[in-house]
Amino acid sequence: MSKALLELDGVHTHIGAYHILHGVDLAVPRGQLTMLLGRNGAGKTTTLRTIMGLWRASQGAVRFGGRDIAALRTPQIAELGIAYVPENMGIFSDLTVRENMLLAARGARHARDMDEQRLQWIFQLFPAVQKFWNHPAGKLSGGQKQMLAVSRAIVEPRELLIIDEPSKGLAPAIINNMIDAFGELKARGVTILLVEQNLSFAQRLGDTVAVMDNGRVAHAGRMAEFSEDTQLQQRLLGLAL
Amino acid sequence: MTRDIDWKPLLLAPVLALVALPLTGSFSIWLTLTVAGLAMGMIIFIIASGLTLVFGLMDVLNFGHGVFIALGAFVASSVLAMMGDWSGSSSLLLNLMAVFPAMLVAMLVAGAVGLAFERLIVRPVYGQHLKQILITMGGMIIGEELIKVIWGPAQLPLPLPEALRGSIFVMDAAISRYRLLAMVVGLAVFALLAWTLARTKIGLLIRAGVQDREMVEALGYRIGLLFIGVFVAGSALAGLGGTMWGLFQQNLIPQMGAQVNVLIFIVIIIGGLGSTGGALIGALLVGLMNNYVGFLLPVATPFSTIALMVAVLLWRPQGVFPVVNR
Amino acid sequence: MLGRLLSHDLPRSRVLAVILVAIVLALALAPFAFPGVKALNVAAKILVFIVLVAGFDLLLGYTGIVSFAHTMFFGIGAYGIAIASTRLGPTWTAVGVGIAGALALSLVLSLAIGLFSLRVRAIFFAMITLAVAAAFQTLASQLSVFTGGEDGLSFKLPAIISPSFEFSEDPFMGASLDGRLLCYYLLFVVAAALVLALLRIVNSPFGRVLQAIRENEFRAEAIGYRVVVYRTVASMLSALFATLAGCMLAIWLRYNGPDTSLSFEIMVDVLLIVVIGGMGTIYGAVIGSAVFVIAQSYLQDLLRLASEQVAGWPWLAAVLSPDRWLLWLGLLFVLSVYFFPTGVVGKLRAARAAHAANPSSAAAARGTS
């Protein structure tokens, strides 16, 4: 029985005529935070979208908890307990913050059905979410939207969080909050797959790391070892952690 | 709540009404026309709301929406004919007891046909706008011809039940009873729609889906089912609107679907594709415009609605309340 | 030389070429090969539709714009001739004035519509053109002072193309040599010239840019083509062809009314032809128009026969009634959009290309059928 909650096995993805993923092999261990690094255009976002079924893998297997999900549709994949925060955050700007959160809380029919304790925890981590609770989400600043996006992903317990560049546009103080949040989530046994460009963020948080290059995973291993190897970092990312 | 409400478009209809007041000369005439315009606008809104939501939610352009309008009207006429004693009587209660079931049956039939329409005609061409336009238009032609097969190609008179005819007099102005009923029904539909959209989770899903369908799916909702539901509801509403339109004109022709279609398009263009509030404003404007110009300068009526549309688009090219899209 | 004439846009399929030649010959020899008033009317109608649909194909098939205002320009052309001939009498001046006036009006309107497309999305544009065309039709029937209202206008044309003019007493090879014959050949020459002109346009650099815009507007703009300008010009050209087709129609019928040229049914016919024939091919308009007009003219007779056969079952008879031929056309239309998205021409060319790519497998496939 593998320790990986999520596994990608030789995954190829085509978008129209473009062949973006050329056989991605990725293992996301249960209960750990895996960083997905790589230069722009390496295929990180495409990998996440393929996992979520937004783009169909043309070849290969995507396994969640041992079960092949590559052929499933996006809502079914989400129902299995995977929360996705896309790069553009996917905030519904015409809806209020409260309504955004309510949508993400599949089990709740009304706002009052949402888990009060959980909400309080989220408010502590991201005060802006509480402050603008009844405001249209479109009025939030970029960083605040980012916080809302992550809050949506954690408003209900999920097994796996897939997050695309959460620290983009965030002030350092908020980034610390986010790091705390992910730390707490890990403590609760949540598995996280994170795409990041902010390398110090990556270094502080990641247990495992996978580096993509040209549509493939060029290196995978423990973050601790990767942080030591500046030569490898230079080669794969063009700079050092 | 520090929500900014975009209030300018809300003034359009009142401003139009005020401008028309001096032009019509007399207050009582103005009142009659205004009520007629609002009633017509309400009926148009009922029909347009379904279409705009379908487009906003699933990016499907249904040029065949007219078929549900016509179908609803014709079905209602058959139902009313069957309930001849009630619709023919002079008691208001009996009349209403004939009219409301007629509306209900019209909605059910239109909704059922809508289900088939979505499955057979619309679903195979998701995402391909050009084919959607062509195929839904084809669907409407087929529908219109089938109506001719069932009810005959000639026009069918649809007389208003006795108690709904005539007018009541308010301040010297003749206000048609039926138009009042139309306004009441229209407002009820609007209230129901507004409540559903604002206060229920399904409404939330629809509003979110109109903005970003993909994200709604990523949150775990099967938006495909939602769409079918909205399409069927939209068709049912078109059936209701068609019934009311038919009673308005007291005359049905198989081509009525295509004719009202054009008005509906103008309305949702003015309102902004995907916005029910916009559709209401657009519908009221079109209804008022039609009635004022129809009184002042009848020959210009079809062009006045187009001029209205052009004017609004010059101000806001995406319509009055454009839905911010992905 | 043939290549230059067709602007190097060859049929690219032997079957297609044969069919096209057959159609051209049939139309050229129609008065002699198919005697009778009805046959000649059908032939003339085919000529008119070829020009009308080919002009529409320029807009839809090559530029990717759906515009329901096409019949409006058709009507403008027809009314131009009708009004001018009614007012100015049966002279060539009247015809000239009519054509010029109609073209001018069409140019102005299509310019306005084209520029407007700047500000609105493609879907808006389609809906707006639908509304404008509907309004125009209503206007035409209401301005009866000008347009003869619902009844339309009947008028006379210069003597030489009127039926009463006979330049020989005896019929020649079955056709009477009168003004009607001349009129027909006038239309034939004009239609041929306009089709060749269209081939020239779509195969020019301008035509290629149109196709680029159709494929990927954003990229075309990024490369440096002002999309709005190209679209506007395409819409104006398309309107011009429709107007000329309208003039042709009025000249042939010597009558025009709101239903003759402005009815929505004609728009549907045009859409049907362009889809069945094949979008973006021009040849599709030729084949489609021929097939369609013939079917339309004779299908009703067929339906009448069928309807009489099943007179015993009223519902079946009603569905097969010749008055309901639009129902069958509608079904054909929907099925064509599904199963023949590339139309007849597209299918023929694809078959040819498949054959050329792999003659042995194509032959094997034929062998097994």
CA-closest candidate to residue C116, choices C105, C101, C127, C104: C127
Q: Which residue of B has its CA nearest to C328?
A: B142
Two tokens, residue B280? 């209401």
Residues of A whose CB is below 8 A from B215: 86, 90, 92
The pLDDT value given to residue C213: 83
Assigned domain for C196 exists: yes
Q: Write down the pTM of the prediction.
A: 0.82
* Contact assignment for B133 to C66 by CB distance below 8 Å: yes
Assigned domain for C318 exists: no
CA-closest candidate to residue B33, choices B43, B45, B21: B21
Whether residue B205 lies within 8 A of chain A, CB to CB, comes out as: yes
Rounded CA-CA distance B87/B52 in Å is: 33
CA angle C173, C175, C177 (to 5 degrees): 110
Is the pLDDT confidence value at C366 over 50?
A: no
- Contact predicate B234/B114, CB 8 Å: yes
What string of DSSP letters covers A141-159?
Answer: -HHHHHHHHHHHHHSS--S
Domain region containing C275? 7-290
Integer-rounded Cα Rg, in Å, for chain A is: 17
Q: What mean pLDDT value characterizes chain C?
A: 83
Whether residue B124 lies within 8 A of chain C, CB to CB, comes out as: yes
Assigned domain for C316 exists: no
Whether residue A109 lies within 8 A of chain B, CB to CB, comes out as: yes
Residue in B126, B128, B134, B273 to test binding to C, most C beta-carbons within 10 Å: B134
The pLDDT value given to residue A241: 55
- State ipTM: 0.90
The pLDDT value given to residue C196: 92
* Contact assignment for B219 to A78 by CB distance below 8 Å: yes
Whether residue B216 lies within 8 A of chain C, CB to CB, comes out as: no
Assigned domain for C355 exists: no
Residues of B whose CB is below 8 A from C134: 259, 262, 302
Assigned domain for C2 exists: no
Chains C and A touch (3+ CB pairs under 8 A): no
* Contact assignment for B217 to A78 by CB distance below 8 Å: yes
Assigned domain for C163 exists: yes
CATH number at residue C73: 1.10.3470
Whether residue B21 lies within 8 A of chain C, CB to CB, comes out as: no
Residues of C whose CB is below 8 A from B305: 131, 135
Assigned domain for C357 exists: no
Phi then psi dihedrals of residue C173, to 5 deg: 55, 40
Q: What is the pLDDT along chain B (326 residues), one digit of tens a residue?
A: 334 567 888 888 888 888 888 887 788 888 888 888 999 999 999 999 888 888 888 788 788 899 999 999 999 999 888 887 777 777 778 778 888 888 999 999 999 999 999 988 888 887 777 788 888 888 888 999 999 888 988 888 888 887 778 888 877 777 888 888 888 888 898 899 889 988 899 999 988 988 888 999 999 999 888 889 999 999 999 999 999 999 888 889 988 888 888 889 889 989 988 888 899 999 999 999 989 988 888 877 878 888 888 888 888 888 888 775 54
Shortest distance, CA A181 to any CA of chain B (angstroms):
20
Mode of pairing for the β-strands spanning B156-157 and B251-252: antiparallel
Average pLDDT over residues C150-154: 81
Shortest distance, CA A83 to any CA of chain B (angstroms):
7
* Per-residue three-class SS string for B268-316: HHHHCCCCHHHHHHHHHHHHHHHHHHHHHCHHHHHHHHHHHHHHHHHHC
Shortest distance, CA B11 to any CA of chain C (angstroms):
23
Q: Which residue of B has its CA nearest to C265?
A: B141
User: Residue ranges per domain, chain B?
Assistant: 31-265
Shortest distance, CA B198 to any CA of chain A (angstroms):
10
* Contact assignment for B218 to A86 by CB distance below 8 Å: yes
Is the pLDDT confidence value at C369 over 60?
A: no
**pLDDT tens-digit profile of C107-137?**
999 998 888 776 677 777 888 888 888 888 8
Residue in A48, A55, A74 to test binding to B, most B beta-carbons within 10 Å: A74
Whether residue B133 lies within 8 A of chain C, CB to CB, comes out as: yes
Nearest to C134 among B61, B262, B299 (CB): B262
Rounded CA-CA distance B300/B289 in Å is: 11
Residues of B whose CB is below 8 A from C138: 302
The pLDDT value given to residue C89: 81
Whether residue B316 lies within 8 A of chain C, CB to CB, comes out as: no
Number of Cβ pairs < 8 A linking chain B and chain C: 100
Looking up tokens 């001719």 gives B148
Instruction: Tell me how many domains chain C contains.
Output: 1
* Contact assignment for B138 to C323 by CB distance below 8 Å: no
Assigned domain for C278 exists: yes
- Contact predicate C276/C339, CB 8 Å: no
Secondary structure element (H or E) that encloses residue A212, with its range: strand A208-213
* Contact assignment for A103 to B217 by CB distance below 8 Å: no
Nearest to C334 among B142, B269, B299 (CB): B142
